[in-house]
Structure 1
Amino acid sequence: MTFRISLTALAVAGLTVAATAQENPRPDTLAALGPPPIPADNPMTDAKIELGKKLFFDPILSGNYGMPCSACHRPEAGWAVQDKISFGYPGTTHWRNSQTIINSAYYGKLFWAGASPSLEHQARAAARGGVAGNGEDDQMEARLAFVPEYRAAFQEVFGDDWPSVRHAYMAIAAYQRTLVQTDTPFDLYMNGDDDALSAAQKRGLELFAGKANCTACHNGPLLSDEAYYNIGVPPFDGWEDDELAQITFRFELYSKGVTEEKYRKLKDDPGLYFRTKQEADMGKFRVPSLRYTQYTFPYMHNGMLETLADVVEFYDQGGGENEFAANKSALIQPLGLTDTEKADLVAFLESLSGEEMLVDDPDLPEMEPLPMAQN
């Protein structure tokens, strides 16, 4: 059961709000995670989850048979990539930071600009993305049909005579919905265990919901309002001297349909503008969850902040500057934190991660000639 405490209710009960907040700072804007939502059109089964796990790690779902989902979401790297920019399809590089898929089941908007409304859609977009999987559905579907184990699994799980790539994406999404972490020190504390957080972490929680105003955007069980903001993150420095990164960036500008003037002049990621084509959305990105962040460094959409301490310092300074200063959120203001307060805030952020979630890559089935071709 999710535990929340209302300061108003405590005051009515005869307790002073100030004292209670100091002893048990559990803001109404925050909550522990419950079970992930499961869409009615993609129910979970053990067989589907097992199939999805294999497909997640299998490079069969990519253009060159070499870029599985796990290429950019490694378990030992926070189920992401511990570098500023994610890996790209061979011959390219990516152009944004790889986000962890731990707790991605709770998002209503996937990718940094919210381009996918579901894990099923996200899996398809990643497998087909020009600088990601670069696959074609018919090609990937044909490959799946050459694997007897997959033919049997798709028949069992989905009733397919031959594997359907649409169902492959559904199986991957089902597997991702098992990658959740609901037993962090923060969750235990919000569920009533007063000893789950250290004294420094409790002070950090007070700052998070108070002086630092982090809950203005990082709220709810996911610690994200899933809205879009420009907070002044500086542009990716690789675009200054990495020729391949420059080519990828121009490709993204072109393929996403910016104006010719912007194609020629932009030196920074326009973010949500790619989707809306509204000037007011230049440089805005969807608020990420802060869960599991202990393992998902570096931070921001382009990895320009290396550590959680760097993130806290960034916000304490009132954010940064980028090409889209006119759209910078008014919520981003200098905080005036002391060194002790910064350390406490980092300590609280660390409480949003539990034990590292590691799995071994599964044994993958091999292709064989189709039955009708064996004679």
Structure 2
Amino acid sequence: MPTAMRSILSKWILAGVSAIAIAATAQASERPKELAPLGPPPIPADNPQTPEKIELGKLLFFDPRLSGNGAMPCSACHLPDAGWDFPDKISLGYPGTVHWRNSQTVINAAYYGNLFWAGAAKSLEAQAKSAAKGAVAGNGEDDMLEARLAFVPEYRQRFKDVFGTDYPRLNHAWMAIAAFERTLVQTDTPFDAYMRGDDTSLDAAQKRGLDLFTGKAGCSQCHNGALLSNERYYNIGVPAFDGWQDDELAQITFRYELYAKGSTEKMYRDFKDDPGVYFRAKDKKYLGKFRVPSLRYTKYTAPYMHNGMLATLEEVIEFYNQGGGANEFSQTKSSLIQPLGLTSKEKADLLAFLNSLSGERITMEEPELPPYAVLGTGTQ
């Protein structure tokens, strides 16, 4: 090929490459700036990940010995086959109680800076400890839990290998469980692929839904960033849990929680709804407010809201379309919650987009747990 012809052809190729690059850049720049794909989970400097620690945490996550009665593992309220949460309005409670809030999925919990519905824990380590020892959850006591772990030779060896201690320590158990939970992430959803530049990963309905999510429906005012949660607190008018009207055990548990968290006598006697983050600040402007949950993996985590009062994503969309609901704390309801006027087609498109925030279901077989043995003998 003549030199001149090669020069012209090279210019054409370069021009084509440049055009493709410019088109890709322009396409990427059209992605909503308030949203982002999910990257690797943050790992705290004082609890680095190791394969051995993760494997120990997996065993402990499924081990019922880390509970008061030896029958309530983390997985009792976070079932892998049920979205890594509990498939009912209110989570499973410690025997003799029920819980009083909806169980949230563990998937992508590694990204939260505020865990639990009222943000009471600031790390997965603190969350694991609080759940295992909470009166209506694990109801465990430190000395009893540590003694049980110490009577398992395999645990003694694993804790020594991972943490360098002769016997298991509970603070190390929470660290191991947190390390395992930081592996339960999903970063390969259709939405993530789209936000990374793959224009084909969302279909036409999902793209229309994305436009509604960031536009007319106003969802991204609170569900933004890579986690799709700003982690702030709002009252959106979710009605009170209906079980408090006809379930005696639920009513007793609710009254216990009001008392245990420092309610006044009048609140204890009169409240018919969950005060939410009020308990942390004791300021009435926080009554009925809860932390914004991530919308990731929600395809598998019904029912929804802090008390499970909305059964499906379709109900969630209609709830917001109607301008939220009404509860006992109407004085703190967010002004962001207004009727949306979505058409049936728009609601269908919005649902299609919400489903793009979930990838394939994440499942896991329960591990075989190590047995007890008499201390010092190595025999069962």
SS, match of residue 309 in structure 2: coil
1:85 is matched by which residue type in structure 2?
I
Q: Which residue of 2 aligns with 1:8?
A: none
Cα distance, 1:138 vs structure 2: 1.1
Q: Which residue of 2 aligns with 1:140?
A: 145
Cα distance, 1:373 vs structure 2: 9.6
Q: CA separation in 1, counterparts of 2:210 and 2:112?
A: 23
2:275 is matched with which residue: 262, 270, 276? Answer: 270
Q: CA separation in 2, counterparts of 1:225 and 1:125?
A: 23
Deviations for 1:199-243, whole angstroms, at most 9, x for unmatched residues?
A: 000000000000011010000000000000000000000000000
Q: CA separation in 1, counterparts of 2:165 and 2:318?
A: 53
Is 1:369 matched with 2:374?
yes
Cα distance, 1:308 vs structure 2: 0.4
1:253 is matched with which residue: 233, 250, 258? Answer: 258
1:352 is matched with which residue: 341, 352, 357? Answer: 357
Q: Which residue of 1 aligns with 2:239?
A: 234
Does structure 2 retain, via aligned residues, the 8 Å contact 1:280–1:327?
yes
Tell me: CA distance 1:37–1:285, structure 2 relative to 1, closer, same or farther (3 Å): same
Is 1:327 matched with 2:332?
yes
Q: What are the residue-to-residue correspondences of 1:62-73 with 2, within 5 Å?
A: 62-73=67-78
1:312 is matched with which residue: 314, 317, 337? Answer: 317
1:179 is matched by which residue type in structure 2?
L
Is 1:208 matched with 2:216?
no
TM-score (norm 1): 0.93
Q: Which residue of 2 aligns with 1:104?
A: 109
Cα distance, 1:82 vs structure 2: 1.1
1:336 is matched by which residue type in structure 2?
G
Does structure 2 retain, via aligned residues, the 8 Å contact 1:73–1:81?
yes
* Unmatched segments (≥5 aa) in structure 1: 1-13
Does structure 1 retain, via aligned residues, the 8 Å contact 2:85–2:301?
yes
Q: How large is the Cα RMSD of the aligned pairs? A: 1.5
* Unmatched segments (≥5 aa) in structure 2: 1-21
2:198 is matched with which residue: 175, 180, 193? Answer: 193
Deviating beyond 2 angstroms after TM superposition, the runs of 4 or more aligned structure 1 residues are: none
Cα distance, 1:372 vs structure 2: 6.5
Q: CA separation in 2, counterparts of 1:82 and 1:194?
A: 34
1:224 is matched with which residue: 225, 229, 240? Answer: 229
Deviations for 1:354-373, whole angstroms, at most 9, x for unmatched residues?
A: 00000000000010000069
TM-score (norm 2): 0.92
Cα distance, 1:45 vs structure 2: 0.2
2:140 is matched by which residue type in structure 1?
G
Q: Which residue of 1 aligns with 2:8?
A: none
1:269 is matched by which residue type in structure 2?
D
Q: CA separation in 1, counterparts of 2:48 and 2:307?
A: 34
1:287 is matched by which residue type in structure 2?
V
SS, match of residue 371 in structure 1: coil
1:52 is matched by which residue type in structure 2?
G
SS, match of residue 212 in structure 2: helix
Does structure 1 retain, via aligned residues, the 8 Å contact 2:303–2:312?
yes
How many residues align structurally? 356
SS, match of residue 249 in structure 2: helix
Q: CA separation in 1, counterparts of 2:252 and 2:124?
A: 28
- The percent identity for this pair of structures is 70
Q: Which residue of 1 aligns with 2:166?
A: 161
2:215 is matched by which residue type in structure 1?
G
Does structure 2 retain, via aligned residues, the 8 Å contact 1:25–1:202?
no
Q: Which residue of 1 aligns with 2:189?
A: 184
2:53 is matched with which residue: 48, 53, 67? Answer: 48
Higher-Rg structure is 2
Q: CA separation in 2, counterparts of 1:72 and 1:128?
A: 14
Deviations for 1:130-159, whole angstroms, at most 9, x for unmatched residues?
A: 000000011100100000000000000000
Q: Which residue of 1 aligns with 2:344?
A: 339
